[in-house]
Structure 1
């Protein structure tokens, strides 16, 4: 049975995200309550559960205020942060510089939340408890990329993918094999670690997201 249309299933958000909204326990609880009644998020949640069962690792949930399985744009980051127990949702509303940059760049591009799914190339936490953030190892990245095809299968309305950072960029051949003809764009990671290194980095992110927004508009016309 085909999924219902985005108009019928993606509810008008009842929450009003603010900068660092998911640092607030009440906001996190409200977001998880919304997840339980969000049919557009259900296929991605089911995939996250499959990954947990297969790996034994913590996997965050999709943000119910985003488009979930009905999104037209997949924004692939690298790995969940080491503090997943505090913020177990992949979201632009997480506290910190990366979340702030995502909100700024996506907002400037005019990409609606309902058109986005933010996910990770390695979708589970790779850090030991209490450890600092680190890059994924080659074996971890290979294992994570094996879950890209089922993610794409869960997104029948996907019209463009954006790979953020060099580890997410490794998903390019996997996506091209699984979804031939899908436009795939690459941009720097939106972490302040990269954005602050050169004016060329935010300019490149801005240009890529503008191109992604154009793909979404053209495919919807």
Structure 2
């Protein structure tokens, strides 16, 4: 089970139903996640699709770093999904490894997706978002930024998340926007240059959070 407060639990913790239930219980009393949860509710209402909740152990609306991934993965439950570094599978394991190496405090960040709803049918294999899905998902980036007044840096992971760069720059002129490969094992294992670039990007983001130069 999860330790009290907002400290990190064991790796891949959200594969444990008890841990997932505990995280949802925290959400009910987590004011820092309320604006993001409200946005998720608006997206659900507008799209009719399941939208994962923010992790209450992360920074929520108070976060200074936005890590934008691509889509919620097919492993996530349609009913109880949470966007988190603690999700099971290779992407979650890589996220934890890279974020821990960069010493980015999870309370300083929000993990979200360029297409914030689950696009996969239950039990379906992973797939890339379609052009129309990505376009529709990116329409929710400006409301997300409005909910994050403390944002100091955005990191876009993967080519679909990178499509949000012009929207971010238009909505928040001067905000540092960094891009990196997606941390999925599909990409990380292709070349030593991929994990090196991810590590370099997250270290630059950490430097910006500390007030240094990237």
TM-score band w.r.t. shorter chain: over 0.9
For 1:84 and 1:156, how far apart are their aligned partners in 2? Answer: 29
User: What secondary structure is seen at the aligned counterpart in 1 of 2:32?
Assistant: coil
In 2, Cα distance between equivalents of 1:179 and 1:58: 28
| Matching residue within 33, 37, 43 for 2:35 | 43
1:23 aligns with 2:15: yes
Structure 2, unmatched stretches of 5+, are none
List per-residue Cα deviations over 1:116-170 (Å, max 9, x = no partner): 1000000001122322110001110000000000000000000000000000000
CA distance in 1: counterparts of 2:204 and 2:196, whole angstroms: 12
Q: CA deviation at 1:16?
A: 4.8
CA distance in 1 between counterparts of 2:32 and 2:8 reads 19
- Greater displacement, 73-82 / 16-25: 16-25
Q: After superposition, where does 1:1-221 map in structure 2 within 5 Å?
A: 13=5, 16-85=8-77, 88-218=81-211
5+ residue gaps, structure 1: 1-11
1:4 is matched with which residue? none
Q: What TM-score, normalized by structure 2, do the two folds share? A: 0.94
Q: CA deviation at 1:188?
A: 0.3
2:8–2:57 contact (8 Å) kept in structure 1: no
Aligned-residue RMSD, C-alpha: 1.3
- Matching residue of 1:9: none
2-side partners of 1:89 and 1:205: how far apart? Answer: 23
CA–CA distance in structure 2, aligned partners of residues 29 and 167 of structure 1: 31
Contact 2:33 2:61 in 1 (8 A): yes
The 1-side partners of 2:91 and 2:6 are apart by 24
**Whole-Å separation in 2 of the counterparts to 1:162 and 1:177:** 16
- SS of corresponding position for 1:218: coil
Kindly provide the CA deviation profile for residues 63-88 of structure 1, in whole angstroms up to 9, marking residues without a partner as x: 00000000000000000112332650
Length, aligned pairs only: 208
